[in-house]
Amino acid sequence: MNIISEKKLDNAVVELEIEVPVEKVEQEYKTVFNKIQKNAKVDGFRQGKAPRQIVETKYKEYADGEVAENLARGSVIEAMEKASLAPITEPKFHYTSVNREETFKFKAFFEVMPSVELGSYTGMKAEEPSVSVTEADVDNEINAIRERQSQTETAPEGTAVENGHLVKFKLKRTDDVDKAQIDAVEYRDYSIVIGKSKDEYSLDSHFIGMKVGEEKEVSQSYPDTYNIAEFAGKTITYLVQVAEISNVKLPEVTDEFAVSSGFETVADMRVKTKEQIEKYVKDRVSNDSRSDIMNGVVENSKFDIPESMVLNEMYSVFEKTQQRIGYRAESLEQFAMLMGLDPDEYREKLREAAVKSIKHTLVLSEVAKKESISVSEEKYKEQLGNLAKAMSKTVEEIEEIIEQNQSRTSIEHDILLEMSMDFLYDKADIKKGQSQTLDEFVKSKMGQ
């Protein structure tokens, strides 16, 4: 066996052109015809007793295929070892002909492990806004808790909508359909506490003064910078119907209310609520920076990813999406149609998500390798403690589950990727951005 050429194609595909000597070709023909002759059925002869020459003439075409297949499969393994290649898919073969009096030449195509050529990955630029959390923000969050524990009472007949009312209503968009088709558009049910939203483009102000059963057409213009891309720069027209008006009774902010909400006192509630908001902001700001940093590293790097890996990751993302939604479809097409999506567009989004995930994993793994990042026993034990706390189990119980599932390697790999991301974040050039209020910060993240 001789390797004539070795080529690296796109998508981590390797092409080997291999030549098998004529002596081995002849030997394989003899082996194949020996097997054929033992079971050959030829008119005028008992099974397995026909002369070799007649057998070779009658079964030549079949033997050619068997010989080529056997030579290709046997030789490619030897060639892979010789070239130090580790395939992750079964090879595919291409050849024009096989002749027992000539060397046999063929090409083998197979995928190998993905590779990444890292570009610059330290000093990546990111900007983090400075977000101030005020006592008013704490009040708003506590009011949200009050609303979740509120009691409602249907307002008397003839009541007109005013601030503080809970309004259940029906809505349908009408500017994007022909007037003759408006009646065919179905209403959707919504509810809103009037005056609660701080979004100046909220529809609740349009309900002021309306009564149950009333219907009217409302229009809302949105700026080009609006956070919902579908509405940005457009004037949208709706038909709204008031279905129900309710008075909302909020619980008083007392120590008893604080205890019922999981706190010790009102003072404890305010302190811990502020800490929770600050933690949310800090985590979101950090995650956004990490995303920007990773995108920069990916953009600087070169990848060679096998198609089979992309397809497997697409399937994994699809499975997780179905589990999260709680619906299992018979096919991707059925699932897309159920969600109101174009199957081709959904498949492309799945592919984008899969490629992104693979690239991130490759980058972090390569960074760990280059920077000699490893998971210590102490770090592993720390993660077990976190898992135990999250799952309300003891560390010993978690260790038993990991041993049963043989998942320690997977857990250590996840920790390693997290440590690599921490390294990139620590080595990044992060600047403080413009100061924002909590409302401004939250609005800037809407739709992301």
Categorize the per-residue pLDDT at 448 as very low, low, confident or very high, splitting at 50, 70 and 90: low
Q: Are residue 228 and residue 327 in the same domain, yes or no?
A: no
With a pLDDT cut of 90, the percent of the chain lying above it is 75
- Flag whether 194 is in a domain: yes
pLDDT (0 to 100) of residue 331: 87
The reply to whether 414 and 307 lie within a common domain is yes
Does residue 216 lie within any of the structural domains? Answer: yes
Task: Report the CATH number at residue 39.
Answer: 3.30.70.1050
| pLDDT tens, position by position, 84-112 | 998 999 999 999 989 988 999 999 999 99
Q: What integer pLDDT is reported at residue 338 of this predicted model?
A: 81
- Residue 50: predicted pLDDT: 84
Which of 8-22, 44-58, 176-190 comes out lowest in average pLDDT? Answer: 44-58
Is 122 contained in some domain?
Answer: no
Q: Is residue 317 part of a domain?
A: yes
Q: What is the dihedral of CA 380, 381, 387, 388, to 10 degrees?
A: 160
Mean pLDDT of the chain: 92
Distance CA 165, CA 243 (A): 13
pLDDT at residue 293 tops 60: yes
Domain boundary, last residue among 249, 281, 303: 249
Q: What is the CATH number of the domain that holds 290?
A: 1.10.3120.10
Domain boundary among 185, 216, 249: 249
Q: Band of the pLDDT at 444, cuts 50, 70, 90?
A: confident
Which of the two residues, 320 and 227, has the higher pLDDT score? Answer: 320
- The parent domain of residue 190 ranges over 151-249
Residue range 18-41, pLDDT digits in tens: 999 999 999 999 999 999 888 888
For 200-233, the pLDDT digits (tens) are 888 888 999 999 999 999 999 988 888 777 888 9
141 found inside a domain: no
Verify that 268 and 415 share a domain, yes or no: yes
Least confident of 40-44, 114-118, 124-128, 282-286: 40-44
The number of distinct structural domains making up the chain is 3
CATH number of the domain residue 162 falls in: 3.10.50.40
- Same domain? For 370 and 305 the reply is yes
State the DSSP H helix or E strand holding residue 241, giving kind and residue range, or none if neither: strand 235-249
- Which three-class secondary structure string do you get for 146-161? HHHCCEEEECCCCCCC
Contacts of 94 (CB under 8 A, 6+ apart): 106, 107, 109
Q: Give the CB-side neighbour count of residue 390, counting CA atoms within 13 A.
A: 7
Residues 245 and 268 in one domain: no
Last residue of a domain, one of 221, 249, 277: 249
How many Å apart are CA 67 and CA 61, to the nearest integer?
10
195 shares its domain with 272: no
Specify the pLDDT at position 107. Answer: 96
**125 has a pLDDT exceeding 90:** yes
Asked whether residue 172 is domain-assigned, the answer is: yes
Indicate if 54 and 191 belong to the same structural domain. Answer: no
Residues 270 and 359 reside in one and the same domain: yes
CA distance 411 to 401: 12
Give the model's confidence band at 326: pLDDT under 50 very low, under 70 low, under 90 confident, else very high: confident
Same-domain status, 292 and 421: yes
Residue 45 within any structural domain of the chain: yes
CA within 13 Å, CB half, 33 = 20
Inside any domain, residue 73 = yes
Q: Which residue has the tokens 């995303």?
A: 291
Structure tokens at 56: 């070779």
Residues 10 and 94 grouped into a single domain: yes
Using the predicted structure, report yes or no on whether residue 128 has a pLDDT greater than 90: yes
Lowest mean pLDDT among 120-129, 168-177, 331-340: 331-340
Q: Residues 234, 290: one domain?
A: no
Residues 36 and 69 in one domain: yes
